[in-house]
Structure 1
Amino acid sequence: MNAKDLRIVFMGTPEFAVPSLRALVEGGYNVVAVVTTPDKPAGRGQKMHESDVKIAARSLGLPILQPEKLRAPEFVEAMQALRPDLGIVIAFRMLPETIWAMPRLGTFNLHASLLPQYRGAAPINRAIMNGETETGVTTFLLNHEIDKGAILAQERMPILPDDNVGTLYDKLMHAGTKLVTDTVDRIASGDIAPIEQQHIDESILHPAPKIFKEDCRIDWCRPGKQIVDLIRGLSPYPAAWSELRKEDGTAPITAKIFEARFEPASIDLLPGSVESDCRTFVRVACSDGWIVLSELQIAGKKRLPIKVLLLGWRDVLQYRFGK
């Protein structure tokens, strides 16, 4: 079977899915339609916002479906009319069986981790936050359980010490693009042996649940490496944060920290205590040394390198970080 003859329905929403969609179309694969989320009002003006995948699909001249409900009879009928051979899902909503089981060769998903590790909504963030040194991308067949379908292919990738979620996102996005086209080719040729995710000791797996605000709060009593990994795993978005309190007892403000490094040291200071020369550096005490701040954003201010921030932050030594 020629991979270019397969009738493919592509489903996705954010930027992460766009390079794979473009690679399929530019590679001559037969993408018969793109399914993405409905337009939504966003921003101060509440202008209608289109998904990154919709914008790309329109530029590529592809038919676009934007169902409100994936079980709606009119959407199911539209999918049936497409006569799909294969479905591809990248960062989309959870599909009902009516949809994922419809293509005769099934539907596969691209996930930004080495499954079965880091199943869930935030695999890139969680891998860095946990101090991992390796991650990757996985294609797997959809089934009734989230991220538990049979694995089709994987590509491994190191997590470098200076990676944050922004840099790793870009690397995995492009690695995933090649894995998607390779997976289509192997499915078409029959040169693929799905590996079921069964009989796995769940206790040794790291989950990747959605990230909430409290997950991003820095606990300065933790070891320095863990704090820096938290900052890397949340930069540039949603960003690790901490309360910033002044000695005079005024209401605390919030500081988002985007970049920092750890200096091991034996110190006898309360975690969260600040040391600075008021010109070039600010460092914060943690359980086993210093967190040297490189870039942060104080509530109501712009995100700035520490040297620029200190030009107007003359009373920095009157503050401490934490609860």
Structure 2
Amino acid sequence: MKKEDLRIVFMGTPEFAVETLQALVEHDYNVVAVVTKPDKPVGRHGSVLQAPAVKKYALEHGLPVLQPEKMKDEDFVEQLKSYNANLQVVVAFRMLPEVVWAMPEYGTFNVHAALLPQYRGAAPINWAIINGETQTGVTTFFLDHDIDTGRIIMSKPFDIPDDADVEYVYDGLMHLGAQLCLETLEQIVATNGHPATVAQSEKIEDKDLKDAPKLFKENCEINWNQKAKQVYDFVRGLCPIPGAWTNLITQDGKETLLKVYRTSKTGQSTTAAPGTICIEGKRLLVATIDEWLCFEELQLAGKKRMMARDFMNGMKELDQCHVG
């Protein structure tokens, strides 16, 4: 098979997916159509429609764009069939029904931002950092009936520095994912559409599988009854989006939502109750169950994101407040 024999439909939505689509275009792969989410209403009244990043790139390069509301819609399925694709590539998209993922002759493969079978789910980058992992990666695998469980084609590791947040890892995996996609396509071409694959069950090796569920406000709340390292990882694993949060509670019991974007470890042990706030010179400290953490970047509800020292200047009697 030659690369020109591949007729590819690309599916994706955010900037993360654009990097891979761009790699396909720049390496002269035949992308016959692009599927992405519908335009999103934005603005105060939702009167302005914002196109997904993938759509913007596709239109700039003359690629046909499909934006189905429902992936099982009969008109969409028929339209998709009309492109006669023999391979589909998915990056940061939605769950596909079998009528879609099983359509091409050579199947549909996904570029997933984790080293499967670990971190199956919607937020693999966040949860790898939250759990204090020192390494993650990217995996390509063929889709099947269950989410993120298909046979693995290839994978590449990526190191996570101790001070890295989501933005750092996101950018790294975005570039690595595009590279891995190209290497996967090379394997598909070299093997006439049938690259060697490995079942995920062969990679589990009795290890505990860690999931990567979707993030909601409820699971982004900081639990101060943990060790400082756990809280530190939790905060950076949600920075910059969606952001970890807690409540700032005054002496009279008034609560205000406080987003915490960055902390630093002090190594100073404490016996103070978790959530206790302490001002030490120019540092704003908070107690965990074993050590003090130092607040670095914060955002009080209705205010701008700011450095902790500026936050301290604008807040009175902080040493009489606590968080929780």
| TM-score normalised by the chain length of structure 1 | 0.95
Of 234-243 and 189-198, deviating more is: 189-198
- For 1:287 and 1:252, locate their aligned partners in 2 and report how far apart those are by CA, in whole Å: 22
Q: What code does the residue aligned with 2:208 have? A: I
1:122-178 C-alpha deviation (Å, 9 max, x unpaired): 100000001110000000000111000000010101110111111111110110010
Task: Indicate the residue corresponding to 1:230 in structure 2.
Answer: 234
- For 1:267 and 1:40, locate their aligned partners in 2 and report how far apart those are by CA, in whole Å: 47
Cα separation, partners in 2 of 1:202 and 1:38, compared to 1, 3 Å: farther
Task: Indicate the residue corresponding to 2:312 in structure 1.
Answer: 310
| 1:212 to partner: Cα distance | 1.8
Task: Indicate the residue corresponding to 2:120 in structure 1.
Answer: 119
- For 2:303 and 2:68, locate their aligned partners in 1 and report how far apart those are by CA, in whole Å: 40
Of 29-38 and 91-100, deviating more is: 91-100
2:143 is equivalent to residue 142 of structure 1: yes
| 1:274 to partner: Cα distance | 1.1
Mapped contact 1:264–1:288 kept (Cα < 8 A): no
Task: Indicate the residue corresponding to 1:12 in structure 2.
Answer: 12
- For 1:64 and 1:74, locate their aligned partners in 2 and report how far apart those are by CA, in whole Å: 14
Q: What code does the residue aligned with 1:16 have? A: F
- For 1:131 and 1:4, locate their aligned partners in 2 and report how far apart those are by CA, in whole Å: 43
- For 1:140 and 1:225, locate their aligned partners in 2 and report how far apart those are by CA, in whole Å: 33
Unaligned 5+ residue runs, structure 2? none
| TM-score normalised by the chain length of structure 2 | 0.95
Match of 2:290 among 288, 291, 299: 288
1:33-72 C-alpha deviation (Å, 9 max, x unpaired): 0011112322314111211111111111101111122222
Match of 1:248 among 243, 247, 252: 252
- For 1:223 and 1:126, locate their aligned partners in 2 and report how far apart those are by CA, in whole Å: 17
Task: Indicate the residue corresponding to 2:223 in structure 1.
Answer: 219
Task: Indicate the residue corresponding to 1:321 in structure 2.
Answer: 323
- For 1:207 and 1:122, locate their aligned partners in 2 and report how far apart those are by CA, in whole Å: 9
Task: Indicate the residue corresponding to 1:30 in structure 2.
Answer: 30
| 1:101 to partner: Cα distance | 1.0
| 1:201 to partner: Cα distance | 6.3
Task: Indicate the residue corresponding to 1:261 in structure 2.
Answer: 264
Task: Indicate the residue corresponding to 2:131 in structure 1.
Answer: 130
Q: Percent same amino acid at aligned positions?
A: 48
Task: Indicate the residue corresponding to 1:239 in structure 2.
Answer: 243
- For 1:64 and 1:27, locate their aligned partners in 2 and report how far apart those are by CA, in whole Å: 20
Unaligned 5+ residue runs, structure 1? none
Cα RMSD between the aligned structures? 1.5
